[in-house]
């Protein structure tokens, strides 16, 4: 059994969002992913993006940074 914490916060200020992401990065060494490398893998991750859902008309989010926790070495696809 594992314990999972999910956080999805929206901030007015970029610096606040970056501070939460920076804290998440300090926790990477303790984080695990499930079934890594298998078809049913579930990677732990966090991401920072610009969200335009409060605007009219809305437009898609723009990714700024995404971190996926992978412990297995990345293998080249041939």
Evaluate if residue 75 carries a pLDDT over 70: no
Residue 57's domain spans which residues?
Answer: 14-68
Task: Answer whether residue 35 is part of any domain.
Answer: yes
**What is the pLDDT at residue 37?**
87
Res 3 pLDDT > 80: yes
Specify the higher pLDDT residue, 76 or 68. 68
**Backbone torsion region of residue 7, taken as left when φ is above 0, otherwise alpha when ψ lies between -120 and 50, otherwise beta:** beta
Residue 76 in domain: no
* 56 band by pLDDT with thresholds 50, 70 and 90: very high
Output the CA–CA distances (angstroms, integers) from residue 10 to 14, 17, 18, 23, 40, in the order listed: 10, 8, 11, 16, 29
Specify if 46 maps to a domain.
yes
Q: How many structural domains does the chain have?
A: 1
Give a yes or no: residue 32 inside a domain: yes
Residue 6 lies in a domain: no
Residues 5-47: tens digit of each pLDDT? 999 999 999 999 999 999 999 999 999 998 998 999 999 999 9
29 domain residue, yes or no: yes
């Amino acid at each position: 059994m594992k314990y999972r914490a999910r956080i999805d916060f929206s901030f007015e200020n970029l610096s606040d969002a970056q501070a939460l992401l920076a804290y998440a990065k300090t926790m990477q060494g303790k984080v695990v992913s499930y079934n890594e490398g298998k078809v049913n893998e579930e990677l732990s991750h966090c991401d920072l993006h610009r969200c335009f859902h409060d605007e009219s008309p809305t437009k898609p989010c723009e990714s700024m940074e995404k971190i996926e926790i992978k412990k297995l070495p990345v293998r080249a696809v041939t």
